[in-house]
Amino acid sequence: MRFSAAGASTDTSAFTACFNRHVDSVRVTAYLLCRDRHRAEDLTQAAFLKLYLAWSRLDEHEHLDSYLRKVVVREFLTDRRRAWWRRESGVDEPPESPVVEPDREDRVVLWDLISALPPRQRAVLVLRFWQDLDVNDTAAALGCAPGTVKSQTSKALAALRARLSEGRESYAR
């Protein structure tokens, strides 16, 4: 299916339908990458804006998922590299923070540790373990070599293990 439509109204309706279909997935991916609700919205808008600007050049409807994923991840990584004074960051916590139940505590702690990882390692974990992408697709989304994905995954898992063991030791003391 080709998206180069006959008129602007066709483009607008097709784009709106695509937005409604993919926005939830893009938004959650952005949130898992940056752990900031407002920044996740900014990333989502930036991804769909790029999609709109490239709309007439896109050929395959099936590739929209991977295209949006790639745009979100790269926008996140690019935004992280920007100068700190040009980057806005939320300072307040969400008004209604989830109540941590005992059986969920480990997952919340692990989520905190994942959020503390460097951006590239976090992106690798989100793409591989939440989006269930293989090494090649993850590398395509990140724009790097498959070997880099493997090494980043290994480093991220090692860092998580080390921090978890540190936490357990300090808790035991």
Partner 1 sequence: MHADDIRAALDQAEQDYRPTGAADPTAIIERGRRIQRRRRTAAITASAFTVVGVLAASFALMRPEPVPPAVPGPAPSVEPVTTVENSPVPRTPQMSPIPGTTPAPGPSGSPCCSITVVP
User: Where along the sequence are the contacts to partner 1 (CB under 8 A)?
Assistant: 12, 15-16, 19-20, 23, 27-28, 31-32, 35, 37-38, 40-41, 44-45, 48-49, 52-53, 94, 96, 98, 104, 106-108, 110-111, 114, 125-126, 129-130, 157, 160-161, 164
Q: Provide the minimum distance between the beta carbon of 3 and partner 1 in the complex, in angstroms, as a whole number.
A: 14
List of residues 6+ apart from 114 with CB closer than 8 A: 122, 125, 160
Residue 14: C-alpha distances to residues 32, 79, 104, 164, 169 (Å): 27, 29, 40, 47, 55
For residues 55 and 15, the answer to whether their CB atoms sit within 8 Å is yes
- Tokens describing residue 30: 């952005």
- Residue 79 Cβ vs partner 1, minimum distance, rounded to whole Å: 16
Residue 63 or residue 104: which is nearer to partner 1 going by CB? Answer: 104
Minimum CB–partner distance for residue 135 and partner 1 (Å): 13
The nearer residue to partner 1, 31 or 67, going by C-beta atoms, is 31
Task: Report which of 66, 61, 64, 26 is spatially closest to residue 42, judged by C-alpha positions.
Answer: 26
Calculate the alpha carbon distances from 91 to 38, 44, 113, 151 in Å. 11, 20, 19, 32
Nearer to partner 1, 9 or 170 (CB): 9
Question: DSSP character for 6?
Answer: S
Q: Which is nearer to partner 1, 9 or 85 (CB)?
A: 9
Kindly state the smallest distance separating residue 132's Cβ from partner 1, in Å. Answer: 9
